[in-house]
Each structure stands twice: as structure tokens, then as C-alpha cells.
Amino acid sequence: MTYATISLDISDTTALLTLKRPDKLNSLNAVMHEELAVALQAVAENTRIRALLLTGTGRGFCAGQDLDERSPSRTPPDLGATLDRWYNPLVRGLRALPIPVVAAVNGVAAGAGVGLALACDVVLAAQSASFVMAFSNIGLIPDTGLTWFLPRLIGPARSTALMMNGGKIQAEDAARWGMIWKCVDDENLRSEALNCAQELAQRPTKALGMIKTALNHCWDQNLDQQLDLERTLQRTAGLSSDYEEGVKAFHEKRQPVFAGH
Ligand code: LHQ
């Protein structure tokens, strides 16, 4: 399929999803939302894909909602409907993908662009990248899962201040605060992120998907519930051919070759 605002390139077991509206810092318009939904569905349905890498073109990662589509009008807008239609399915879709999703934040991420990055599983950012909690600058509250992700990642004190003052943090601070996995030199971002995705694609995919499930639930369950969930998931993991291969490779003192099931 040909897309106008994104590209989806599949090479072997890794898919590369690129946001392609560089002149608007890859802000999300209706077409891009449509195309992202189709692309995520295509990734979800393609069982050969074992890792997804998400990045942007140009000097931005994603500047959130395209504000050019949001000119003041006489009809009061229903932003709740916009979230229901586009943003919430996007976050849910990324969290529900049973494969690791790596974000390569190549430049500024603002508003929903921050949420998009943090909805990914492993986030790398270029040294020159920054994260701007732009919502309150235009009279909105953080969405795209940010009121859920951010306090869990960096704690309530830092989250509250950033959300209220519309603040910006640089990638290095984001890494130091535990908001992202790591900050890398600009010129190395693409290769490091690609290596990261390709390496994850060689790992036991089914187990990685279940790690995602366990972590998706860990914040709102008590220890007893989480232990029960671990038991259920581990029972499934224990029946996988990757577990069999992992133990066999250990005994044979060689690297395992995981088939992903
Ligand atoms: C943009 C945008 C943009 C259009 C830069 N739209 N053109 C959900 C539900 C429904 C509605 C509302 O929203 C949401 C969730 C949200 O995401 S709300 C938050 C929306 N995003 C923002 O408020 C961020 C707005 N952008 C900025 O604050 C700055 O552009 C940042 C901090 C991202 C980057 O600043 P600079 O590096 O100084 O770049 P710039 O401002 O010069 O932008 C470059 C170009 O990109 C410029 O166009 P131009 O034609 O003048 O070169 C901007 O107009 C355009 N652009 N963000 N969101």
C-alpha cells in the first residue's frame, strides 16, 4: 500500500514506520491518523514481523495534533470525540501489539507526539531531541496516555510541573529522569535504533509480547494479582518452542536461535 504521510518498510522480520510530514514537524492530521491505523493493522496481521521501529523525518519526531486542522470555528469542537476516534485507538494499538515497538525520537516531540513516543516499549532519542508538554500552552490537558505514562515513568512532582508549565526537557534529561531508555548521539540514532529493533526481532517474540502484557497490567494490580498473571503467562511461555530452544542452547553452550513462537 502507498501512503501519503507515512511509510512502512518491512525488511525481513523488522518493520520501519516513518512519519513523513517534515515541514509540519510530522504533526498528526486526519490522513496521517488514517494511515497509521492501517499500517498498525498491517503490522499486527503480519506474523513475520517481530519488531517495529517508529521514527520521524526531518528535524521533528512528531509535534502532536496538526493545529492547522484546528482553526477556531463557530461550532464548539468535541475533542473527546477526536481522542475516541484517533488518539486512543493509536495508543491502545501500540500497547496491544504483541511485538516490541522501538521509538527513535529524531527531534522535537510535542503534545501528543510525546504520548506517541512513550506508548512505545523502548525509546531512544537523539541528543538534540526534546520533549515538549505543549498541551497547557494551548489550554488543553495532556492526552495520548500521558497522564498515565508520565507519572509512572518520572514521578508526580516532575510530571505535574512539566504538564502545568508546558515545559520542555532535553533528551539527556529525559534519559536521566527515566522517561526514555537512552539518549544517543544524533548521528548514531538511526543505526542504534535499527540495531535495537533488529536484535529484539531475533529474541523470543512470544515471551516479549507477554512481557508487554505483564507490564501493561503491573500498575493497576496488587502483588497477588500480578503473581497470578505471571503464572498464567509463564505457563504459556513454558509451552513455547522458544523456551525449549533456549534451554537446549544453554545446555549445548551455544547461542539460541529463536523462531519467535
Ligand atoms: C506545526 C505544529 C503543529 C501544525 C509545528 N501543527 N504545524 C488532541 C486532540 C485534539 C486536538 C488537539 O490536540 C490533541 C493533542 C495535542 O497534540 S495538543 C498539542 C499540539 N501541539 C502543539 O501545541 C505543539 C505546537 N508546536 C510547537 O509548540 C513548536 O512548533 C515546537 C515546540 C514543536 C517546535 O518549535 P520550533 O522548533 O521553534 O519550530 P516551529 O514552531 O518553527 O515549527 C516549524 C514548523 O512546523 C512551523 O511551520 P512554518 O510554516 O512556520 O515553518 C510550525 O507552524 C509547524 N508546526 N507544530 N502541531
What is the rounded distance in angstroms from the CA atom of residue 24 to the CA atom of residue 133? Answer: 17
This prediction has a pTM of 0.97
What is the rounded distance in angstroms from the CA atom of residue 53 to the CA atom of residue 18? Answer: 8
- In the chain the first and final C-alpha atoms are separated, in Å, by 28
pLDDT of residue 70: 83
What mean pLDDT is reported for the chain?
97
- pLDDT over threshold 80, residue 72: no
Kindly state if the Cβ of 26 falls inside 6 Å of ligand 1: no
pLDDT of residue 71: 78
- pLDDT over threshold 90, residue 1: no
For range 16-31, the mean pLDDT = 98
For range 132-139, the mean pLDDT = 98
Tally Cβ neighbours within 10 Å of residue 151.
16
pLDDT tens digit sequence for 167-178: 999 999 999 999
pLDDT tens digit sequence for 78-102: 999 999 999 999 999 999 999 999 9
Kindly state if the Cβ of 171 falls inside 6 Å of ligand 1: no
Cβ–Cβ < 8 Å for 99, 206: no
Kindly state if the Cβ of 130 falls inside 6 Å of ligand 1: no
Q: How confident is the model at residue 61 (pLDDT cuts 50, 70, 90)?
A: very high
Cβ–Cβ < 8 Å for 24, 66: yes
Residues in the chain: 261
The single-letter DSSP state of residue 76 is P
Cα–Cα–Cα angle for 96, 10, 182, nearest 5°? 60
The single-letter DSSP state of residue 219 is T
pLDDT of residue 74: 64
Please give the number of the atom of ligand 1 that sits closest to the Cα of 130.
32
pLDDT of residue 75: 80
For range 56-68, the mean pLDDT = 97
pLDDT tens digit sequence for 180-204: 999 999 999 999 999 999 999 999 9
For range 235-257, the mean pLDDT = 98
The single-letter DSSP state of residue 28 is B
For range 36-41, the mean pLDDT = 98
Kindly state if the Cβ of 112 falls inside 6 Å of ligand 1: yes
How much of the chain exceeds pLDDT 70, in percent? Answer: 100
Q: Mark out the alpha helices in the chain (DSSP H runs).
A: 30-45, 79-82, 88-96, 112-118, 146-154, 156-165, 171-176, 189-201, 205-217, 223-238, 241-251
Cβ–Cβ < 8 Å for 87, 112: yes
- Nearest CA to 122 out of 60, 184, 167 is that of 184
pLDDT of residue 84: 98
pLDDT of residue 5: 98
- pLDDT over threshold 70, residue 111: yes
Kindly state if the Cβ of 240 falls inside 6 Å of ligand 1: no
pLDDT of residue 132: 98
What spacing in Å lies between the alpha carbon of 19 and ligand 1's midpoint?
Answer: 15
Residue in 67, 71, 136, 168 to alter for ligand 1 test, most ligand atoms within 8 A of Cβ:
67
Tally Cβ neighbours within 10 Å of residue 143.
20
If you take atom 46 of ligand 1, which residue's CA is the nearest one? 24
pLDDT of residue 18: 98
How much of the chain exceeds pLDDT 90, in percent? Answer: 95
pLDDT tens digit sequence for 141-167: 999 999 999 999 999 999 999 999 999
Residue 182 makes CB contacts below 8 A (sequence gap 6+) with 124, 125, 175
